[in-house]
Amino acid sequence: MAHRPSLPGGPRRTRRRIIDLLRQSALTANEIAAALELTHNAVRAHLSGLQSDGIIRNAGLRPGGTRPSVVHELVPRADSLFSTAYIPFVAQLLKVLGERMSQAELDEMMGRVGIGLAAEWPRLNGDLAERVNAASALLQELGSLTEIEPTNDGFILPAHGCMLGEAVHRRPEVCRAVESLLAQLAQARARQCCQHGEHPRCCFEIAPHPSSRRSARGRVA
Q: What is the pLDDT of residue 169?
A: 66
Would you place residue 170 in the very low, low, confident or very high pLDDT band (cuts 50, 70, 90)?
low
Would you place residue 10 in the very low, low, confident or very high pLDDT band (cuts 50, 70, 90)?
very low
User: Between 40-52 and 11-24, two packed helices, what is the crossing angle to 10 degrees?
Assistant: 80
* Interval 165-176 mean pLDDT: 75
Cβ–Cβ contacts within 10 Å for residue 20, how many? 10
In eight-state DSSP terms, residue 61 is: E
Cβ–Cβ contacts within 10 Å for residue 198, how many? 6
Residue 66 phi/psi, 5° resolution? Answer: -110, -40
Report how far apart, in Å, the C-alpha atoms of 164 and of each of 46, 202, 209 are.
31, 9, 27
Would you place residue 4 in the very low, low, confident or very high pLDDT band (cuts 50, 70, 90)?
very low
Q: Tell which CATH classification among 1.10.10.10, 3.90.550.10, 1.10.287.990, 1.50.10.20 matches the domain 11-82.
A: 1.10.10.10
Q: Where in the chain is the domain with CATH 1.10.10.10?
A: 11-82
Q: Where would I find the beta strands (DSSP E) of the chain?
A: 27-28, 56-62, 69-74, 149-150, 155-158, 189-192, 203-207
Look over the chain and give the mean of its residue pLDDT values, rounded to a whole number: 84
pTM: 0.64
Q: Is residue 133 packed enough to be buried (19+ CB in 10 Å), middle (13-18) or exposed (0-12)?
A: middle
Q: Where in the chain is the domain with CATH 3.30.1380.20?
A: 86-220
Please check the confidence at residue 115 and state whether its pLDDT lies above 60: yes
Q: What is the pLDDT of residue 111?
A: 92
Q: What is the pLDDT of residue 88?
A: 80
Query: In DSSP terms, which residues pair with 190 in a beta bridge?
Result: 206
Superfamily of domain 86-220: Trafficking protein particle complex subunit 3 (3.30.1380.20)
